[in-house]
Homo-oligomer: A and B are copies of this chain.
Amino acid sequence: MATRTDAPTRREQILKEAARLFAERGFHGVGVDEIGAAVGISGPGLYRHFAGKDAMLAELLVGISGQLLTGAKRRLAEVEADGGAKAEAVLDSLIEGHIDFALDDRPLITLHDRELDRLRDSDRKMVRQLQRQYVELWVGVVREVYPGLGEPAARSAVHSVFGLLNSTPHLGRGGSLPGRGATAELLHRMARGAFAAAGV
């Protein structure tokens, strides 16, 4: 993984702040002036970087979905290349990846299942397709680990575990929670426990 060290571009600054604001107050609850102010420029200046407010949301949501899917595919390939295609190991890797994302990009996780309907039709279709592929990838792995699970039940289980993992924004943002590592480990155990209980 090529870790970024260079300064973020203005576009990236804007996207980051927009994500935070959208997550806090909802897409319709944030004005372009506020987004501009958050990066030190004023409202209409944003239009030098984005076609409009909708375009920012679209880029955020497509980006998230794509990143999740790409990461999952990479993890699947990595583990399978790494000796035996142990389904359990793949599932653990998927869970770990999703937790990393949920812990590091809470605003995005929040947006991802909240503002989808504010997108233009074509963008929404694209995001939905990426999300569906991501879910189906999980469903396949889960059914490999728990062959007793039917496909509908597996899909429900996957959605529910996403709900569990995506609860990070509700986990006291302050210093009250037991540190990132412990939280990640707790979430991982709970996800595995939930799947195990689902798998008869």
Indicate if the CB atoms of B176 and A152 lie closer than 8 Å: yes
- A40 at the binding interface (Cβ < 8 Å): no
Q: How far is the CB of A114 from chain B (nearest CB, A)?
A: 6
Contacts of A198 in B (CB 8 A): 186, 189-190, 193
Tell me the complex Cα distance, A177–B165, Å.
21
| Interface residue tally for chain A (C-beta within 8 Å) | 46
Q: Is A192 an interface residue (CB 8 A)?
A: yes
Residues in B whose Cβ lies below 8 Å from that of A55: none
Residues from chain B with a CB closer than 8 A to the CB of A29 are: 26-28, 118
Report whether A160 and B164 are in contact in the complex, using a CB–CB cutoff of 8 Å: yes
Interface residues of A in 18-39 (CB under 8 A from B): 24-29
Any B CB within 8 A of the CB of A196: yes
Residue A113 is within 8 A (CB to CB) of chain B in the complex: yes
The 30 listed contacts between A and B (C-beta, < 8 Å) are: A25-B117, A26-B28, A26-B29, A26-B114, A26-B118, A28-B28, A28-B29, A114-B114, A152-B177, A155-B172, A156-B171, A156-B186, A157-B186, A157-B190, A159-B170, A160-B171, A161-B190, A162-B167, A163-B164, A163-B165, A163-B166, A163-B167, A189-B198, A190-B195, A190-B197, A190-B198, A193-B194, A193-B197, A194-B197, A196-B197
The 9 A-B residue pairs with the shortest CB-CB distance in the complex, in nearest-first order: A193-B197, A163-B167, A28-B28, A164-B164, A190-B194, A193-B193, A194-B194, A163-B163, A189-B197
Interface residues of A (CB under 8 A from B): 24-29, 113-115, 117-118, 150, 152-153, 155-157, 159-167, 170-172, 176-178, 182-183, 186-187, 189-198
